[in-house]
Chains A and B, each alone.
Chain A
């Protein structure tokens, strides 16, 4: 009993020096650069925009503010409607963009968190316990990766929407179900490398339980690349949502996202209504840009030896 407790503290010692001070270092490097802080600023602005937006706009998203004139294509940005109006219903594009942003960001973040959590668990189990379980899980990953992701997303979305869900949840479930494989491979690789390291061997030699080793010693040390992949996963899910919306399989227009705004507006775009496409498009690009910047900055601050600029 006491030997076990002692083993744990002894084995914890290298973990402290291996994870805590490097994290502080990485944080300093992250904030010392330009890319990371600017990425955070842009993303922060977007998040603030979608949260505060409804309070600064006098319009409800379904309001038809009895336009002074009816214009089929909607009216371009003006003081009254700073992002202009949609075609047909003449809705306020600003409100649509604000509300759609909440939907898109929710999809992005929740899908990324879900996919990465599942992938991390699978990766740790696969890498740490190895053997037949590892073989099975990795073949499963291969099979999942062999199916064109787009096809899976389309069919998956179709299945789930027919089963009753039409909202954001549908898209999130599909993205999570088919978004864990990359992380699983990544984490497994990390764990395999870590498993051979001396401090893990020391913990094992001291009789620390495998689950505890996996959670307390392997996970914190394998997490670096996972952290780096998170912003990219967020951006991927947001663009992915826009992508399937464009193809007509996305979230129903009742819960607006930037993606379904784009798919609804595309037919009017070529006729001259550029603002209905332009504003959600701009926000998608800004979001993707900011999360990529954050991701690149994280990678550079976590892996100082890769001196890529």
Chain B
């Protein structure tokens, strides 16, 4: 199993390297660049523009830029010299040996082109809001999916099953933003039950995550939590409705399949209690593939939900991604995508291992 995991990680790293090359190429092929933000300024001269690009290293050829971003090239040297660090060892070796501290492989994510902030700080600030929103949504939607899926699966063909299945079928075709808008319109505008968007009530609370906020939080934790909860309602509801309907249909189908399996008939023939037939024999096998979803949820916990976060102005990683894309803020984008794909690789690995643990027939 360890050997398998190592093999998978090696393959994952290869694929990730390949995809960063492709992403980098795409980004740079995209017309316009960070200098665009000055494009409308009439006083901005060509020389200024050149200097700006040079300061960001964007005057270099694309392979060099990629190499620098990766950390296999130094930023303070040109040509082949860049491959060797100040200590004389190759640049890609650990910082303590090579003396090179820049680039992804040395743990340095760079600075935003847009506002000069450290990418690591930007991502760290966005990670907590995303974790809160995504984590809460996942817990609710998986729980709901299992409950509704199992119930409708066991009572399949009944009147309740028919109506629930129809509703989830229609809901699963809804585009997220449409649903988000409808919920916002209904609950925040028409009924005025919830805040429209944001993470905290701006008039009373400092911005989430700031030092002031934590002071405010320690002074009146109940108010702060209630405020947060009120702002969570709509985005969580949107994510849960959109995601749970597909999953509950999946669980329903697995349960129906499992109930017609021969070993479930055996369990009935053995005269076991109804609950044991259902839980131990039918659901145990039906839910194994679904349980592995927990591994697949990992990338979501980090990357968040782009659409939902931007509809409800949730200051998370999803919204950060969108802003970075809009601003062609390469360092931020590249780091998010890289961390995201690491999560995908780890998530898939976790899913496979969970499968192997839950189903003794699977051997890795």
Q: Do chains A and B touch in the complex (CB under 8 A)?
A: yes
Across the interface, do A156 and B26 meet the contact criterion of CB distance under 8 Å?
yes
Across the interface, do B175 and A155 meet the contact criterion of CB distance under 8 Å?
no
Q: Is A31 an interface residue (CB 8 A)?
A: no
The residue of chain A having its C-beta at the shortest distance from the C-beta of B26 within the complex is: A155
Across the interface, do B177 and A246 meet the contact criterion of CB distance under 8 Å?
yes
* Interface 9-mer from A4-12, A14-22, A48-56, A262-270: A262-270
Cβ–Cβ < 8 Å partners of B22 in chain A:
143-144, 147
Across the interface, do B341 and A146 meet the contact criterion of CB distance under 8 Å?
yes
Cβ–Cβ < 8 Å partners of B207 in chain A:
none
Cβ–Cβ < 8 Å partners of B341 in chain A:
146-148
Across the interface, do A163 and B181 meet the contact criterion of CB distance under 8 Å?
no
Across the interface, do B30 and A162 meet the contact criterion of CB distance under 8 Å?
yes
| With A148-B303, A151-B321, A308-B257 as contacts: A162 and B32 at CB distance below 8 Å | yes
* Interface 9-mer from B13-21, B48-56, B63-71, B290-298: B13-21
Cβ–Cβ < 8 Å partners of A247 in chain B:
306-307, 310, 322
In the A-B complex, the 4 residue pairs with the smallest Cβ-Cβ separation, listed nearest first, are: A162-B31, A288-B173, A146-B19, A143-B18
Give B2-36 interface residues, CB cut-off 8 Å to A. 15-16, 18-19, 22-23, 26-27, 29-32
Main secondary structure of the interface of A (DSSP, over half): helix
What are the interface flags for A139-166 relative to B under an 8 Å C-beta threshold, 1 for contact and 0 otherwise? 1001110111011101110110011000
Query: Contacting A159 at CB < 8 Å: which of B29, B172, B173?
Result: B29
Give the complex CA separation of A98 and B15 in angstroms: 44
Across the interface, do B307 and A243 meet the contact criterion of CB distance under 8 Å?
yes
Query: Contacting A158 at CB < 8 Å: which of B31, B170, B340?
Result: B31
Give the complex CA separation of A127 and B281 in angstroms: 38
What are the interface flags for A279-309 relative to B under an 8 Å C-beta threshold, 1 for contact and 0 otherwise? 0010011001100100000000000000111
Give A contacts to B, CB under 8 Å. Answer: 139, 142-144, 146-148, 150-152, 154-156, 158-159, 162-163, 235, 239, 242-243, 246-248, 262, 266, 269-270, 274, 277, 281, 284-285, 288-289, 292, 307-309
Q: Is B124 an interface residue (CB 8 A)?
A: no
CB distance from A112 to the nearest CB of B (A): 16
Across the interface, do B181 and A284 meet the contact criterion of CB distance under 8 Å?
no
Cβ–Cβ < 8 Å partners of A309 in chain B:
156-157, 256
Give the complex CA separation of A308 and B30 in angstroms: 45
Q: Is B96 an interface residue (CB 8 A)?
A: no
Give the complex CA separation of A163 and B322 in angstroms: 22
Size band of the B side of the interface? 35 or more
Give B318-338 interface residues, CB cut-off 8 Å to A. 321-322, 325-326, 333, 337
Cβ–Cβ < 8 Å partners of A155 in chain B:
26-27, 30, 325
Cβ–Cβ < 8 Å partners of A266 in chain B:
177, 181
CB distance from A165 to the nearest CB of B (A): 13
A-B contacts, CB under 8 A, total:
102
The residue of chain B having its C-beta at the shortest distance from the C-beta of A163 within the complex is: B31
Across the interface, do A284 and B253 meet the contact criterion of CB distance under 8 Å?
no
The residue of chain B having its C-beta at the shortest distance from the C-beta of A143 within the complex is: B18
Across the interface, do A270 and B175 meet the contact criterion of CB distance under 8 Å?
no
Across the interface, do B31 and A147 meet the contact criterion of CB distance under 8 Å?
no
8 pairs of residues in contact across A and B, judged by CB atoms under 8 Å? A139-B18, A146-B344, A147-B19, A158-B31, A162-B30, A292-B172, A308-B253, A309-B157
Cβ–Cβ < 8 Å partners of B173 in chain A:
235, 285, 288-289, 292
Give the complex CA separation of A308 and B18 in angstroms: 39
Across the interface, do B189 and A270 meet the contact criterion of CB distance under 8 Å?
yes
The residue of chain B having its C-beta at the shortest distance from the C-beta of A281 within the complex is: B178
Q: Is B38 an interface residue (CB 8 A)?
A: no
Cβ–Cβ < 8 Å partners of A274 in chain B:
185
CB distance from A235 to the nearest CB of B (A): 7
The residue of chain B having its C-beta at the shortest distance from the C-beta of A243 within the complex is: B175
CB distance from A271 to the nearest CB of B (A): 9
Across the interface, do A270 and B196 meet the contact criterion of CB distance under 8 Å?
yes
The residue of chain B having its C-beta at the shortest distance from the C-beta of A290 within the complex is: B173
Give the complex CA separation of A20 and B306 in angstroms: 46
Across the interface, do A147 and B337 meet the contact criterion of CB distance under 8 Å?
yes
CB distance from A300 to the nearest CB of B (A): 11
Across the interface, do B185 and A143 meet the contact criterion of CB distance under 8 Å?
no
Cβ–Cβ < 8 Å partners of A270 in chain B:
181, 184-185, 189, 196
Q: Counting chain A CB atoms within 10 Å of each CB, which of B175, B326, B344 scores highest?
A: B175
Q: Is B174 an interface residue (CB 8 A)?
A: yes
Query: Contacting B178 at CB < 8 Å: which of A151, A154, A159, A284?
Result: A284
CB distance from A150 to the nearest CB of B (A): 6
Across the interface, do B16 and A239 meet the contact criterion of CB distance under 8 Å?
no
Cβ–Cβ < 8 Å partners of A246 in chain B:
177, 307
CB distance from B86 to the nearest CB of A (A): 34
Query: Contacting B185 at CB < 8 Å: which of A150, A269, A308?
Result: A269
